[in-house]
Structure 1
Amino acid sequence: MIQNVEFRFEGGRSGVLLIHGLTGTPNEMRLVGKGLNRAGFSVYGMQLAGHCGDVSDLLATGWKDWYSSVEAAAETFRHEVDHLFVAGLSMGAILALKLAAQRPEWVCGVGVYGATFRYDGWAMPWYSRFSFMLPVARLIGFGQQRMVYEGEPYGLRDERLRAQISGLMLSGDSVAAGLPGNPWPSLTEMYDMAKLVRRELPTVTAPCLVAHATEDDVASLNNAHLVAQSVSGPVEMLLLEDSYHMITIDQERRTLIDRSAEFFARIAASSEPAARAAA
């Protein structure tokens, strides 16, 4: 059964909508949310459709459901703030970019954290390179119950935190730590969306802070460079050298929080209140 673990932190008139990744949970965005709130922002850590339940709950949804839940959260939140920013981790970064592409009048800036168009990091299993075959498997009905399970280092360079998170994940606590792997059908949905968003990147005009671990174990730096080279708006890069994929909770999370707060505050100070003006 799906549990609701969204969080809200009340702050100033600039707000940040935070989006977690595939099979993840809003908890992976909570520390960033607390840090942004301390910096004066209102924060909404939303929960993607189908998440924080079991595998069957996730399989009952697809990328259109995930994106619809993002747009619904943004529609609610934008009426509460003068400037709306959106930031996401991994697949959440792809969803954040899609929102910026589809609703440019809403979004003042984007935090692109560990963007994952392809699972091509150094720790991914060898068979991940054949992900292009997933749509074929879907067409013939093969692999509907199969999963790609996560393994060491679970996106975390911090060994103490890695042991804690992996223990929760493997125990089946999907609310605290998400599912232990990605079902093939959900991966197919993610790749379908990523392919679409890749074509939409040139329509993203909002400023983007593209943050990525240089040694990302899940998604290589090629994903970050794709965003930086494709969007039409201004880009700032933040390369983190002491983290793996889960940069929102790993060893350089304070650097990520500080740079994000500075980036969003600078945009808000020089922008008209787009979110309310578009109401």
Structure 2
Amino acid sequence: MTRDFEVLSGAEPYTAEGGRTGILVSHGFTGTVQSMRPLGEAFAREGYTVTVPRLKGHGTHHEEMEGTTYQDWIASVEEAFAWLKERCDTIFMAGLSMGGTLALYMAQQHPEIRAISLINAAVAVPAMKSVHDMEADIRFLDAIGSDIKKPGIVELAYEKTPVASVKQILAFMDEVRGGLSDVRCPALIFVSPEDHVVPPENAQIIYDGIASEEKSIIEMPESYHVATLDNDQQRIIDETLAFFKKHE
């Protein structure tokens, strides 16, 4: 008998119907919509049609996440993309951490995506590879959420990280990194120089690997990994909006 997992309060997907320009926003690995909702709401206030999906296995319980694959996470984003395609003529995408990995993947698969905004996107996290050497009976690791510099701010994320899921994201990052040259749309690459989850070098790997003619790296020295809830939140919103408006 399969267990029914309830969606955590604050982890629910967010959508807003606006004009014919859409923005797909993705949260990261073990995280929830809560980390990206401020961006989604800010974009909606500007009249965009916005969707922030809850990735399968996320926002419920880490035991549910343990049974999902990176193809499931892609499917969640593809479904949101299809929803936007029905309503919009132009689509942009923004993502945090693995949400950035998903944005790169979607740009590879859907060249019609007009531009992407990546926030501490992950394509290479060497420290995660230690899971391949772990004993088979170790199912969960410590949490990786809430890497935030701003005092008093907490990310809604899992308190444990499934080993099986780490293996999935490692495979996904390898696939996306191998196809970086297929990304040709304009790209904004935000990076926190002090990030305790994704090495900041990822920004340069992405910058060097993508074939986009227009690309730039923006450093966020006042934020850690979850920059969308940190001191640079408004800056991310403002810079991303200006970037997307430029490419409408």
TM-score by length of structure 2 reads: 0.91
Partner of 1:102: 109
**Contact 1:143/1:184 (8 A) holds in 2:** no
Distance in 1, matches of 2:65 and 2:78, equals 18
Partner of 1:230: 209
**Aligned letter for 2:205?**
L
In the alignment, structure 1 residue 150 sits paired with structure 2 residue 150:
no
Distance in 1, matches of 2:195 and 2:62, equals 26
In the alignment, structure 1 residue 260 sits paired with structure 2 residue 240:
yes
**Contact 1:115/1:224 (8 A) holds in 2:** yes
Partner of 1:205: 184
Identity, in percent, stands at 28
Alignment of 1:142-221 (within 5 A): 142-150=136-144, 154-161=146-153, 165=154, 177-221=156-200
Partner of 1:277: none
Distance in 1, matches of 2:111 and 2:133, equals 34
CA offsets 1:128-187 (integer angstroms, 9 cap, x no match): x3x3343455xxx71452213338xx31111121xxx26xxxxxxxxxx12023211101
**Contact 1:2/1:57 (8 A) holds in 2:** no
Alignment of 1:58-77 (within 5 A): 58-77=65-84
**Which runs of 5 or more structure 2 residues have no equivalent in the other structure?**
none
CA offsets 1:181-224 (integer angstroms, 9 cap, x no match): 32111011000000010001100111111111121222122011
**Aligned letter for 2:202?**
N
**For residues 195 and 143 of structure 1, do their structure 2 counterparts lie closer, same or farther at Cα, with a shift above 3 Å needed?**
farther
Distance in 2, matches of 1:160 and 1:88, equals 23
- Three-state SS of the structure 2 residue aligned to 1:86 is strand
Distance in 2, matches of 1:221 and 1:69, equals 27
Relative contact order, higher structure (CA 8 A, sep 6+): 1
- Three-state SS of the structure 1 residue aligned to 2:152 is helix
Q: Aligned pair count?
A: 240
Quote how far apart the aligned CAs of 1:10 are: 2.5
CA offsets 1:218-253 (integer angstroms, 9 cap, x no match): 212201111111000121221111111111111110
Distance in 1, matches of 2:178 and 2:81, equals 22
Instruction: Choose the corresponding residue for 2:117, options 102, 108, 111.
Output: 111
Distance in 2, matches of 1:24 and 1:51, equals 7
Q: Which moved more, 1:21-30 or 1:2-11?
A: 2-11
**For residues 155 and 240 of structure 1, do their structure 2 counterparts lie closer, same or farther at Cα, with a shift above 3 Å needed?**
same
What RMSD, in angstroms, separates the aligned Cα atoms of the two structures? 1.8
Quote how far apart the aligned CAs of 1:117 are: 2.4
**For residues 136 and 94 of structure 1, do their structure 2 counterparts lie closer, same or farther at Cα, with a shift above 3 Å needed?**
same
TM-score by length of structure 1 reads: 0.81
Distance in 2, matches of 1:50 and 1:251, equals 28
In the alignment, structure 1 residue 243 sits paired with structure 2 residue 235:
no
CA offsets 1:251-270 (integer angstroms, 9 cap, x no match): 110010000000001000xx
CA offsets 1:55-87 (integer angstroms, 9 cap, x no match): 221111110111111112101212211210111
Quote how far apart the aligned CAs of 1:50 are: 1.1
Distance in 1, matches of 2:133 and 2:152, equals 40
**Aligned letter for 1:142?**
A
Quote how far apart the aligned CAs of 1:39 are: 2.6
| Structure richer in helix, relative to its length | 1
Instruction: Choose the corresponding residue for 2:131, options 117, 134, 138.
Output: 134
- Three-state SS of the structure 1 residue aligned to 2:222 is coil
Distance in 2, matches of 1:17 and 1:150, equals 24
